[in-house]
Structure 1
């Protein structure tokens, strides 16, 4: 029996829970997160999406067959044509203009996380890149589901951050999350113990960088 995506989570269980259940996430769900912290996160997340696009372009370069190439193209197109437009609109609702976004300084936590993901993909193969990206794609979907299971979470107009939760609980995002897990399961099933240990280290590092990204929002630090 080979490895599965759940084994990557198990390999860094404490960090994964610290990421999914971070104070940024908890207060967002409860509607008590400071507005300035959320705005800072939104702006840096815009920059993250730019680098996320670059990562999918790298995935196209790393692709070994037509199916992988199409997967990378679809991911890149979704970010550029859908997610970034939605994010710009979301930022506008929070008083952040497109001109503001075009002149953002990049926070150190953003640089550390995005460059780590790109470096993992450059150094390794397509699986290395997907594993480095998984805490974001899979994690945000899990966070939305976790928030919806918490009695402290407010939904609807009572929570100014409700639209954020709705974005990641959506059928489209949950389907993308499930498809990514299926893809990872298929590849992880074939790896050796030594290879899995390398991938688990990458996944754990990326998860800790996600924790830093949340903390950056709370601290509003450069």
Structure 2
């Protein structure tokens, strides 16, 4: 198992995910961001849908505050909501505004089926399950974008028009938030499942949630490409 700056729990889930994780983090959409060949129409279609996604994602992290067992868990979940609503979504608003798309239009956008499937899956995990079910479903988006941002920050073509997007997920601020989230997840897993979480009867179910959410990330990229 390759260790991760985002913690041991994520490293275990990533290793258990297998091919879907590579399909997600090295998707054709991602490579188009890296080398600048992604059609602008695809990027804008994705950006509108991702704004809607982040609205639901912030609500899911807010649910984490309700499901948390400790004050530290509550603080991290609340801090992540702040990062999403007041920072990450600002990129979407700024980029779309430059293209003549107002924030009210973003908020009212009709969700693509892939968006509906993903966001409702995560919310159901949190509503029907416990804190760990919710974290396993949220983790692929958080840490996957962190990995993608780090890789593209180091390898993207100098002329790519998507540098702002890359910098959002590759910069120290986002990476710091994700490291804090990863540490919190490690502590939450240890508190509930013990020092060897993979020996717990719950582990296969949590791994399944992580893998399913990863597959839904792949479908989200597919949806973005079809926006061209």
Unaligned runs of 5+ in 1: none
Return structure 1 stretches of 4+ with deviation > 6 angstroms. none
Using structure 2 for the length normalisation, give the TM-score. 0.88
- Give the CA RMSD over aligned residues: 1.7
Distance of 2:134 and 2:163 partners within structure 1: 31
Confirm or deny: 8 A CA contact 1:5 1:188 kept in the other structure: no
The Cα shift of 1:80 comes to: 2.3
User: 2:102 matched to which residue of 1?
Assistant: 97
User: 1:117 matched to which residue of 2?
Assistant: 122
User: 2:211 matched to which residue of 1?
Assistant: 204
The Cα shift of 1:195 comes to: 1.1
User: 2:186 matched to which residue of 1?
Assistant: 185
Q: Find 1:218's aligned residue among 217, 221, 225.
A: 225
The Cα shift of 1:66 comes to: 2.1
Report how many aligned residue pairs link the two structures: 215
The alignment status of 1:55 with 2:56, answered yes or no, reads no
User: 2:29 matched to which residue of 1?
Assistant: 24
Distance of 1:83 and 1:144 partners within structure 2: 13
Using structure 1 for the length normalisation, give the TM-score. 0.90
The Cα shift of 1:76 comes to: 1.9
Distance of 1:86 and 1:94 partners within structure 2: 13
The Cα shift of 1:149 comes to: 4.6
Unaligned runs of 5+ in 2: 1-7
Confirm or deny: 8 A CA contact 1:22 1:214 kept in the other structure: yes
Distance of 2:27 and 2:154 partners within structure 1: 15
User: 1:154 matched to which residue of 2?
Assistant: 157
Q: 94-103 or 3-12, which moves further after superposition?
A: 94-103
Confirm or deny: 8 A CA contact 2:145 2:169 kept in the other structure: yes
